[in-house]
Amino acid sequence: MAVPIAVLDCDLLLYGRGHRTLDRFKLEDVTDEYLVSTYGFPRQFICYLVDLLGATLSRPTQRSRAISPETQILAALGFYTSGSFQTRMGDAIGISQASMSRCVANVTEALVERASQFIHFPKDEATVQTLKEDFYGLAGMPGVLGVVDCTHVAIKAPNAEDLSYVNRKGLHSLNCLMVCDSRGVLLSAETHWPGSLPDCTVLEQAALTSQFESGLHKGGWLLGDSSFLLRTWLMTPLHIPETPAEYRYNMAHSATHNVIERTLRTIRSRFRCLDGSKGTLQYSPEKSSHIILACCVLHNISLQHGLDVWSAPATAHVEQSEEEYEQMESVDSEACRVRQELLLTHFS
């Protein structure tokens, strides 16, 4: 006589009851070294994420064996930091591809929901002043509120007709606009822009520009490289410096702007799913954008926990060639006046 089975658990069918899945995995049973090598982060950090996201990840389910928040977080961290495709990572930690996909999706959305909590410009006057002083301490550049740059993350082709994600290298990507402080903490992250857009166009259309144009962040400026247009709130290097003051300005600008370049390298190295060496993100542009933003949130949380932002080596990644800098000279006379005043006041 056949026995009806009401619910089939895909993990149970794949591995059997004797297989040690992550639901039986106990953080206290393993060393920090193992957790860092397998999931990219130590026990204290993982426990913090369980406390932070646990309620969101414990949604009601009709599955016979709901996956615990701890398991979902470990699975997602394994994917973010390994760069392995979900099937391989799922096999390594003992859950099916379908369960792995659900874990990554659940944790990603939970982190994205909290993005504004961890990625934002400071608002109180004392913190803003400290921000400027920290930047000034790097290379003597005054008034800096943040350093800005764009970086490309490779994604799978959305469809044959959509060329908006094809960048200048002929690869499909998202162009992500990032701003960080002097320690590498992200102050802004817009991860959804199509790869065909040049950096200057991304900034022109970004929410970041609306914030600065509306006067939300007063009394200072961002530093951007020559792929951006000079603005009253965005100082770029001089294309052809001629005087000693202009050379000193460019040197201070370059040394300060280097912080965002190092930060982007660190994020790619820590979150190998973004670095392109293991292949492209196999998701739609929207889901890929959310994964990138989730990694940005984790980056900031890791800094809050004292994890070394500069320890990771550089990795290969998708990147566009430099913009034609000759075409990026600003015609904004007020912006030119502000930069000239900065030159005379601080670098002459």
Residue 236 and residue 277 in one domain: yes
Residue 41 and residue 159 in one domain: no
Domain membership flag for residue 273: yes
Q: Which of 116, 133, 158 is the last residue of a domain?
A: 116
Q: In whole angstroms, what is the distance from residue 236 CA to residue 226 CA?
A: 6
Q: In whole angstroms, what is the distance from residue 85 CA to residue 279 CA?
A: 9
- Is the backbone of residue 38 left (phi > 0), alpha (psi -120 to 50) or beta? alpha
Q: What distance separates the 2 farthest-apart alpha carbons in the chain? A: 93
H helices present in the chain, as ranges: 10-15, 32-39, 43-57, 69-82, 86-93, 97-113, 115-118, 125-139, 199-205, 207-213, 244-270, 285-304, 333-342
Residue 163 and residue 262 in one domain: yes
Residue 209 and residue 342 in one domain: yes
Per-residue model confidence (pLDDT) at position 85: 62
Per-residue model confidence (pLDDT) at position 18: 37
Per-residue model confidence (pLDDT) at position 275: 86
Q: Using CA atoms in the order 137, 141, 142, 143, what is the torsion angle rounded to 10 degrees?
A: -100
Count structural domains, the chain: 2
Per-residue model confidence (pLDDT) at position 61: 55
Domain membership flag for residue 267: yes
The pLDDT tens digits along the chain (348 residues) read 444 433 334 443 333 333 334 455 567 777 888 888 888 899 999 999 999 999 999 866 545 457 889 889 999 999 999 887 666 566 656 677 788 889 999 999 999 999 999 999 999 999 999 999 999 999 999 999 999 999 999 999 987 678 899 999 999 999 999 999 999 999 999 999 999 999 999 999 999 999 999 988 888 999 999 999 999 999 999 999 999 999 999 999 999 999 999 999 999 999 999 987 767 899 999 999 999 999 999 999 999 998 875 554 444 444 444 344 444 556 689 999 999 999 999 999
Burial class of residue 144 in the structure, from the number of CB atoms within 10 Å of its CB (0-12 exposed, 13-18 middle, 19+ buried):
buried
